[in-house]
Amino acid sequence: MIWSHCLASLLCLTSKPLDVLIVTPGVTGFSATATITRAGPGFEVAVDNMKAIYKNLVFSHVFLTNLSITSCGAFADNVAHLLSRWFYERGGDRGPTPIYMVTTGCFEYTLLNQFAAAWNMLFITTGSSDPVLRDKSKSPTWVNTNSYPNMFFGHIFYRLFLMQNWTSVYVVLDLDSIPIYQLVFGALDKLVRPRVRAVNIQYSSRKVALDIPALLESFATKSRVMLFLGSASQLRLLLVFIAVVPFPYKAQGIFTWQAFDQNDEIVRAAYRSLLFVTMVDASPSGLHVTKAQLDELKAKWTTAFQTNPFYGNQDLMDEPFIPQLAAANAGIEVLAQVLNESMADADFDPRNGRALARRFFSRTFETSSGRIILDQFGDRTPSVSVSYFNDTTGDFQVYLRSNITNGDYDYGAVGSVSWFNGSQLPPNEPMCGFIGDKVECSALTGTPAKHLNTALAVVVVALLAGSICLGVLIRCIVKGSGNIWWALNGGLLEAAAASQAKLAAVNV
């Protein structure tokens, strides 16, 4: 009845609901952050919300996965077959409804992009990005809401070093931490020479404990700037040493032995030597949403995890990963926004993925999970912030934010840095050289220069996401597990303190 009425009236065409099928190919399991198991509720909740908001859009959604494949590599090997069979069984590009691919992406996204280009299908990634996205002859339908600054992993730190005129850095990577740190390590290594000399140290915290005294001894002769790429529990371990070991900065007398009776105080003191680089600022202010908005979404994601066995995380043992969920939510929301506004255009063809993708380029979208700024290629501009520790509030204070223009990574100052009550970070090399042997120094005073050689070190810490405990990291001695990056493990600290006490006894 309605249909025949609509045939008679052109006006009616625009008010006819648009049927849309969203397909999300992805790997299941816990091998990466971008699995369906971890990010699925981000899609599900968004699709449900969009159904309620847009009466003119009829969304269907399917996860395309193979439960017996749980590794990114194996999934990438299988996805071509999985996706193309599914697509052609549904009638291909002549199927009953337009199909859009909105997905997280582990290793398979460049392959999916090739299919999307060949099928002229809109392709939105929410967990991956690649330089090929900028080549619109190869990626005509690709749009990205991923909040990881993949393209800038190296530049984030390189830029910071250059800004500070730091020409040497000591880079420490825990190979057993999240894989992203390894990517950062590799990207930075490619980039820094010749302007910054980097000493690269890798270790596996699960295999063998880091020999921190030896590390610090080596560090002290190479630079005063350390970039630490590891979990919070490893960092805490390191910090205890930095704070209490009478080496190499004993003369400052800033860190005291008294702090021993209260672990948090030790770490609190040590935090003052840190700069935090938050690679994905997923706090409400970083996302430009209210806390209430984010909390509402979080509650829905939690419910989805707890009620749907498909996500395999019903006890929430695996902490929901907000940046991933937020990016997935945003991917669906921007799609709904663009489709809704496009339906008002007479020449809108929902099956033309190329034309549809262009409707996203160079635009800013407000979504319930954050502001999405897309550049002229349809790539999301990530939000990275650098903060120092405010000893008064026990909180992080952002003083730099990424400012990416035309694909160039830079920082813009939003405040001035405060570091041990001063307004400057130290240079990477002490005035009198690392071992106090610079000619100009001893010539100057005639006294052993060692005493002048006591300035503190800066430890630059990469945080993946600043959503969960940022601001309360110290008070946030959460859960027992040392594997979760933000967990500050009191047990580890105790062990470190005990072995430190032994070390001190030997030294005395």
Ligand X SMILES: *[C@@H]1O[C@H](CO)[C@@H](O)[C@H](O)[C@H]1NC(C)=O
Where do contacts with ligand X occur on this chain (CB under 6 A)? 53-54, 66, 68-69, 78, 82, 164-165, 254, 340-341, 344, 390, 392-393, 397, 403, 405, 412, 418, 420-421
Pick 260 or 419: Cβ nearer ligand X: 419
Pick 137 or 421: Cβ nearer ligand X: 421
Pick 165 or 362: Cβ nearer ligand X: 165
**Residues 365 and 81 sit within 8 Å (Cβ to Cβ):** no
Kindly state the smallest distance separating residue 298's Cβ from ligand X, in Å: 22
Pick 82 or 497: Cβ nearer ligand X: 82
Kindly state the smallest distance separating residue 161's Cβ from ligand X, in Å: 11
Which DSSP state fits 139?
Answer: -
Kindly tell me the burial class for residue 208, based on how many C-beta atoms sit within 10 Å of its own C-beta (0-12, 13-18, 19 or more): exposed
**Residues 103 and 126 sit within 8 Å (Cβ to Cβ):** yes
Burial readout 377-386 (b: 16 or more C-beta within 10 A, e: otherwise)? bbbbbbbbbb
Instruction: Name 332's bridge partners.
Output: none
Inter-CA distances, 456 with 318, 386, 430, 434, 460, Å: 37, 19, 9, 12, 13
Matching residue, tokens 């979080």: 298
List CB contacts of 422: < 8 A, sequence separation 6 or more.
none
Kindly state the smallest distance separating residue 317's Cβ from ligand X, in Å: 26
Find the residue with minimal CB distance to ligand X. Answer: 412
List CB contacts of 227: < 8 A, sequence separation 6 or more.
157, 169, 170, 171, 172, 188, 459, 460, 461, 462
How far is residue 483's CA from residue 496's CA, in Å, rounded to a whole number?
A: 17
Kindly state the smallest distance separating residue 76's Cβ from ligand X, in Å: 12
Inter-CA distances, 304 with 25, 39, 314, 361, Å: 19, 11, 9, 32
Pick 307 or 364: Cβ nearer ligand X: 364
Pick 164 or 369: Cβ nearer ligand X: 164
How far does Cα 473 stand from its chain's mean position? Answer: 17
Kindly state the smallest distance separating residue 344's Cβ from ligand X, in Å: 5
Pick 264 or 395: Cβ nearer ligand X: 395
Inter-CA distances, 35 with 32, 116, 148, 160, Å: 6, 20, 15, 32
Kindly state the smallest distance separating residue 355's Cβ from ligand X, in Å: 17
Kindly state the smallest distance separating residue 462's Cβ from ligand X, in Å: 20
Pick 82 or 175: Cβ nearer ligand X: 82
Kindly state the smallest distance separating residue 166's Cβ from ligand X, in Å: 9
Pick 4 or 392: Cβ nearer ligand X: 392
List CB contacts of 110: < 8 A, sequence separation 6 or more.
130, 132
In the β-sheet with 458-465, what is the strand arrangement from edge to edge? 197-203, 168-174, 225-229, 458-465, 274-280, 385-390, 395-402, 411-413
Kindly state the smallest distance separating residue 410's Cβ from ligand X, in Å: 6
How far is residue 242's CA from residue 14's CA, in Å, rounded to a whole number?
A: 66
Pick 222 or 272: Cβ nearer ligand X: 272
Instruction: Name 390's bridge partners.
Output: 395
How far is residue 329's CA from residue 383's CA, in Å, rounded to a whole number?
A: 17
Pick 80 or 497: Cβ nearer ligand X: 80
Kindly state the smallest distance separating residue 408's Cβ from ligand X, in Å: 8
Kindly state the smallest distance separating residue 81's Cβ from ligand X, in Å: 6
Which DSSP state fits 218?
Answer: H
Lookup: tokens for 225? 């700037």
